[in-house]
Amino acid sequence: MNKIRHIIAVASGKGGVGKSTTAVNLALALLARGSRVGLLDADIYGPSQQLMLGVAEGVRPEQQGGQYLLPVEAHGLKTMSMGYLVTERTPMVWRGPMAGGALGQMLEQTLWGELDYLVIDMPPGTGDIQLTLSQKASVAGAIIVTTPQDIALLDAQKGIEMFRKVGVPILGVVENMAVHICSQCGHREHIFGEHGGQRIAVEYGVPLLASLPLALSIREQTDAGRPPVIAEPESAVAATYLEMAAAVEAALADGAGGAVRQFPEINIADD
């Protein structure tokens, strides 16, 4: 962990807004820009990065010394996910502390090596996993993913407030599914509302890092294990992710990095 310069949390207030898709494409975009990058799938209950990265079912991380895990390499990224440790048919029927403990183990017992960035794909919401991460690591910043829909924006606000309460800077907002462009006629339609990401970014004084379309290619390429940044690196979608990565790099240029925070030692005495 002390060899990781910056830890970036990619989070959302609710599920289904494209958070995992944003995390994997951001990691690949940072890699394409010349950085050493790791990707941790911290969604204990619903890991998806194994599929998005095209890692075959049944791949397991190698162990070292009986205590540490070696990250699984995919498209040049160093990755770790609960998906590597259980089968896709195994539900994680765990209470919060167990899930938090699993995150701590994947974070601290993976031999990441020297990394410029560790991108963490967070589970949706503001629960145990988010609190565990804020306690165990010095997170350089968080990116909040939302759609323009009003109900998604309400949950995104909760995510921003949660990170602020635990002292994690907000690097910016990513708006997914901003506009649908008909593949047949080119008609543009704001299915989930318009300028929602811009409104919440202005309200909290943070940048709008990207506004991405509701595009069939993003879903198809990511489901096939080759996200847009590597499937179509010259496409407009890939260019948007690369611009997002550049903005994140600029925001973290003067940051303090991602060293582990040590817990205080607690002694209990009768007196």
The mean predicted confidence, pLDDT, of the chain is 83
CA distance 79 to 100: 18
Range of the domain at 116: 4-252
User: Per residue, what are the HEC states of 100-157?
Assistant: HHHHHHHHHCECCCCEEEEEEECCCCCCHHHHHHHHHECCCEEEEEECCCHHHHHHHH
> Does residue 220 fall inside a structural domain?
yes
For the segment 3-10, the average pLDDT, to the nearest whole number, is 94
Of the candidates 129, 110, 100, 103, the residue with the CA atom closest to the CA atom of residue 12: 129
> Does residue 269 fall inside a structural domain?
no
**CB-CB contact of 117 with 255 (8 Å):** no
Q: At residue 258, does pLDDT exceed 60?
A: no
Query: In this structure, what CATH number is given to the domain that contains residue 134?
Result: 3.40.50.300
> Does residue 25 fall inside a structural domain?
yes
Provide the sign of the torsion angle of the four alpha carbons 100, 49, 63, 73, taken in this order.
negative
CA distance 217 to 235: 10
- Residue, of 28 and 129, whose pLDDT is higher: 28
3-state DSSP helix/strand/coil % of the chain, to nearest 5:
35, 20, 45
Q: Crossing angle, helix 96-108 and helix 128-136, to 10 degrees? A: 40
> Does residue 271 fall inside a structural domain?
no
> Does residue 266 fall inside a structural domain?
no
> Does residue 264 fall inside a structural domain?
no
Q: At residue 72, does pLDDT exceed 60?
A: yes
- pLDDT in the model for residue 114: 95
CA distance 170 to 179: 24
> Does residue 262 fall inside a structural domain?
no
Q: Looking at the 3D structure of the chain, how many domains does it have?
A: 1
> Going by C-beta distance under 8 Å and a sequence separation of 6 or more, which residues neighbour residue 59?
50, 72, 84
Lookup: tokens for 211? 């506004």
- pLDDT in the model for residue 240: 95
Residues in the chain: 271
Q: pLDDT (tens digit, 9 = 90+) per residue, 159-180?
A: 888 888 888 899 999 999 888 8
> Does residue 257 fall inside a structural domain?
no
